[in-house]
Structure 1
Amino acid sequence: MAFETTASGKWTRAGIAAIALGALGVPAIGALAMPAEEAAATASADAPLTEEQKAESKALFSQFACGSCHALAEAGGTGHIGPEFDGNEGLDKAYIVNIVNNGQGAMPSFGGMIDEAQIDQLATYIVQVKK
C-alpha cells in the first residue's frame, strides 16, 4: 500500500484515509472468521470424551502438574496459584488451548512439549469435568 505525502513529508488526507480504511478492515475480517472458529471449538467441547480419553487427560493433567496450580476436583487438582477450573463459568475450550500453548503470566507455555491433539483433548476434558 502506498502512502501519500506532500513534498514536505506531511501526510495528505488520502494517505490518512488509506491507513484508516486498512485499520477498519482488519477487525472486520477477524469478526467474520471468529464465529466459525468458536462454533468448531464449542462443538468439539460438547462431544463427550470416552472413559479412555478421560483417563488419558487426567494422566496428562497429573504428568504436567497442572493440579499444583489449578483446582480441578475430578483430576485431584487442589492448587490456588492459577485460576480454579471448578466453578469457573467463563472458562472455555478455546481459552484453555490458547493459554496451554502460549502461556500467560506465571503460566508457562506447554506448546511443543504436549502435542496439539493432547492439548485439545485436555482442554475438552477440563471443560467437561469442571464442577
Structure 2
Amino acid sequence: MRCTVLAASVLLAGSVQAQDVIEEGKRLFTREAVPLCAVCHTLREAGASGQVGPDLDELRPDAARVEKAMRNGIGQMPANTNLKDAQIRLLANYVASVAGK
C-alpha cells in the first residue's frame, strides 16, 4: 500500500519512470482493484483475458475515460471503491499507455 501511494505521488509530480508506472499499474489492474480489472477485461500487457467487459486492447481508451468508468461505473461495471484517487489516476494512465500496444 505504501508503495502504491509513493508511486502515485511520484507520478503526479511527473518524475516517475515509465516502467514504474507500468509495473504499479499492472499490479493495481491484476491484484488491487475491487473487482479486479483483469477478471473482466482483456489487456495483453497485463496478461488478462477477461470476457465480460470490453477488450481494452481493442477499445484503446484514454486515461480520462478509464478514470471516469472506474469512479462512476458503467454498464455492468461497478464503481471502484477501494482505490485512492492517486491509485485510480495511476491505473487509468497505465491502461491508456499500454492498451493496444
TM-score by length of 2: 0.73
- Match among 30, 34, 44 for residue 62 of structure 1: 30
Matched, 1:103 2:73: yes
Distance in 1, Cα, partners of 2:48 & 2:86? 22
Match of 1:52 in 2: 20
User: How large is the RMSD of aligned CA atoms in angstroms?
Assistant: 2.0
Distance in 2, Cα, partners of 1:60 & 1:108? 16
Match of 2:63 in 1: 93
Distance in 2, Cα, partners of 1:70 & 1:49? 25
Aligned AA (2:91): L
Q: How many residues align?
A: 84
User: Any idea what SS the aligned residue of 1:86 has?
Assistant: helix
Q: Kindly indicate whether structure 1 or structure 2 has the higher relative contact order, using CA contacts under 8 Å at least 6 residues apart.
A: 2
- Extract unaligned runs of 5+ from structure 1: 1-43
Aligned AA (1:107): M
- Extract unaligned runs of 5+ from structure 2: 1-11
Note the alpha carbon deviations across 1:69-108, whole angstroms, 9 max, x for none.
100010011011111100224x221111011011122101
Larger Rg: 1
TM-score by length of 1: 0.58
Match of 1:72 in 2: 43
Aligned AA (1:80): Q
- Detail structure 1 runs of 4+ shifted over 2 Å in the superposition: none
User: Any idea what SS the aligned residue of 2:58 has?
Assistant: coil
Q: How many percent identity over aligned positions? A: 35
Q: Quick one: structure 1 residues 51 and 117, their matched pair in 2 at CA, closer, same or farther if it must change by over 3 Å?
A: same
